[in-house]
Amino acid sequence: MTLATVVFNGQSLQMFIEDERKYQSPAYVHISEEGLIAGEEARRLAWLEPQNSYTRHWDQLDEKPLDRPTCWARHHADLSFFQLSELLSKIDSPELLVAIPSSFNDRRLQLLLGLIEAVPAKTCGVIESALLYAEDYHRAIIQLHGHQTVISHLENTGQYLQILNSEVISDIGALQLLKNCARYISERSILATRYDPMHSAVAQQNLFNQLPSIIDKFKTSSESIIDIKSPDSNFTLHLDLKHIQQMLDPKFEVLKAALKDYETEQLCLTPQSGLLKSLCPALREVKMPEDTFIERKCMRLATQAQREEKPLQRLNQVLLSQISDQTIYVASIQKNKSRGRIATHLLHDRCAWPLSSILSFSISRDRLFITGKQHTNADLVLSLEDGNLLITYKKEHLYALLPSQVLPGESLHIGKHQLTLIEVVNA
């Protein structure tokens, strides 16, 4: 079995795999005469043939007949199954931690689990995705989806971080925001040049292809200059972020009202919510977790779910120890960096193994064994070179996650086992 976490969002599907691979598939499905097309290729056709393009199959996962059913798809569930199957085909024998938004009701979750089983794939756990991004001080997680925004409200009980409730804010989705920005660019262009960059399907597709990079420029500047290609000539257009924000401000009133009782530090925007951070001034200072933080957390929770082998239960809370260790970990790393300290040993089963020698690791009956030399039958061999831990040998499909720096307090993951780097002084 290949252990992975799949995060379901109305914008895209993300998959984090135990061997550190990751994949993302935008939530677009296109129905052609030859069959179904999903992901990036479907997005490139979304405005060329909007009548054959679908973007709501995850935000509205159901079995209601499509307006135009075809032999390829009858309802949203067929579209979702196709995209999910295509994503999971990238790994062998998937075993999944399923991360769903709080907006998924039990009926929708039941349908999703049925689709996963039909792939076929195994589900080892179900968790509400807001918990993948949260740290112990967060009180609300903001997730931008394709056609809506989901806010998960959190509570720290002293033992758990749990989701109290969630609310869905409709009409504030990534696609609506992009369409508003496209409309603004169209109006600016018509006023300046009398040319409408949305006058045809091809022109619309070109504009929407440019939008992510256009908005990305607003991260560091209040202006963005874009090139518009018309049939007669090419010209540049100046865009003002403040004008776009003023245009969108009425849309954000409901969102701001839902967050009015929180301090900025208590809020968290998911990495897929960058549009909100760029376009809503009230969220400009809200931080987003780094990808490495999410990847580590996904695999730690997935490994734990696989190990426990409990009956499936929708998790809406996690132990603080599963979250605070990340906070302590980051603080420890920063502290050790400032002191210039490095780890000297690897701690496992109350034994400290010196990093100065080659270490061989073998797994038998879920137990991890270490040898302080290179062993021919080892599952994994590590060595320390130029201050970095390197994999000298690894058996195929063995999960191994090495720390980016050899500092005290960092963790090393081998299969289901977690080991800690320590510093031994004057031993």
Tell me, yes or no, whether 345 lies in a domain.
yes
Helix (H) or strand (E) holding 276: helix 274-279
Tell me, yes or no, whether 332 lies in a domain.
no
Tell me, yes or no, whether 309 lies in a domain.
yes
- Across 143-152, average pLDDT: 97
Q: Are residues 130 and 141 in the same domain?
A: no
Beta partners for 319? 160
Rounded CA-CA distance 146/60 in Å is 10
Q: Are residues 378 and 417 in the same domain?
A: yes
- The total domain count for the chain is 3
Q: Are residues 29 and 98 in the same domain?
A: yes
Q: What is the pLDDT of residue 324?
A: 54
Strand 223-229 relative to strand 36-38: parallel, antiparallel, unpaired? unpaired
Q: Are residues 170 and 276 in the same domain?
A: yes
Domain around 14: 2-135+289-315
Q: Are residues 20 and 144 in the same domain?
A: no
Q: Please state, for a pLDDT cut of 90, what percent of the chain lies above it.
A: 65
Question: Tokens for 245?
Answer: 């924000």
Question: First-to-last CA distance in the chain?
Answer: 42
Q: Are residues 164 and 276 in the same domain?
A: yes
Interval 368-407: pLDDT, tens: 999 988 888 899 999 887 778 888 888 877 888 888 788 8
Q: Are residues 112 and 204 in the same domain?
A: no
Question: Tokens for 223?
Answer: 């202006």
Tell me, yes or no, whether 331 lies in a domain.
no
Sequence letter at residue 174 = A
Q: Is the pLDDT of residue 231 over 70?
A: yes
SS3 (DSSP) at 421: strand
* Cα-Cα-Cα-Cα dihedral sign, residues 374, 375, 377, 382: negative
- Across 9-22, average pLDDT: 94
**Nearest residue to 351 via CA among 376, 369, 325:** 369
Q: What is the pLDDT of residue 338?
A: 47
Q: Are residues 277 and 295 in the same domain?
A: no
Q: Is the pLDDT of residue 41 over 90?
A: yes
CATH number at residue 187: 3.90.640.10
Q: Are residues 250 and 300 in the same domain?
A: no
CATH number at residue 31: 3.30.420.40
Interval 65-77: pLDDT, tens: 998 889 999 999 9
Check: CB of residue 365 under 8 Å from CB of residue 382: no
- Which of 230-234, 237-241, 247-251, 272-276 has the least mean pLDDT? 230-234
- Across 397-419, average pLDDT: 85
- Write out the E strands in 232-323: 234-240, 267-269, 314-315, 317-319
Q: What is the pLDDT of residue 397?
A: 78
Q: If pLDDT is split at 50, 70 and 90, which confidence band does 326 have?
A: very low
Q: Is the pLDDT of residue 128 over 90?
A: yes
Q: Is the pLDDT of residue 64 over 80?
A: yes
> What is the chain's alpha carbon radius of gyration, rounded to the nearest angstrom?
24
Tell me, yes or no, whether 427 lies in a domain.
no
Top-ranked range on mean pLDDT: pick from 39-48, 395-404, 418-427: 39-48
Strand 36-38 relative to strand 29-31: parallel, antiparallel, unpaired? antiparallel
| Average pLDDT of the chain, as a whole number | 90
Q: Are residues 122 and 141 in the same domain?
A: no
Rounded CA-CA distance 217/419 in Å is 41
**Nearest residue to 152 via CA among 162, 250, 412, 383:** 162
SS3 (DSSP) at 338: helix
Count of beta carbons in the 10 Å neighbourhood of residue 248 = 18
C-beta contacts of 243-250 below 8 A and 24+ residues apart = 243/184, 244/180, 244/181, 244/184, 244/279, 245/279, 245/280, 245/281, 247/180, 247/184, 248/177, 248/180, 248/279, 248/280
Tell me, yes or no, whether 325 lies in a domain.
no
Q: Is the pLDDT of residue 327 over 50?
A: no
Residues 6+ apart with CB under 8 A from 91: 2, 4, 15, 17, 21
Interval 242-295: pLDDT, tens: 999 999 999 999 999 999 999 999 999 999 999 999 999 999 999 999 888 898
Tell me, yes or no, whether 322 lies in a domain.
no
pTM above 0.75, yes or no: yes
Q: Are residues 73 and 104 in the same domain?
A: yes
Tell me, yes or no, whether 222 lies in a domain.
yes
Q: Is the pLDDT of residue 179 over 90?
A: yes
Q: What is the pLDDT of residue 333?
A: 45
Q: Are residues 80 and 116 in the same domain?
A: yes
**Nearest residue to 342 via CA among 380, 374, 389, 383:** 389
Interval 329-370: pLDDT, tens: 444 444 454 456 788 999 998 899 999 889 999 999 889 999
Q: What is the pLDDT of residue 330?
A: 47
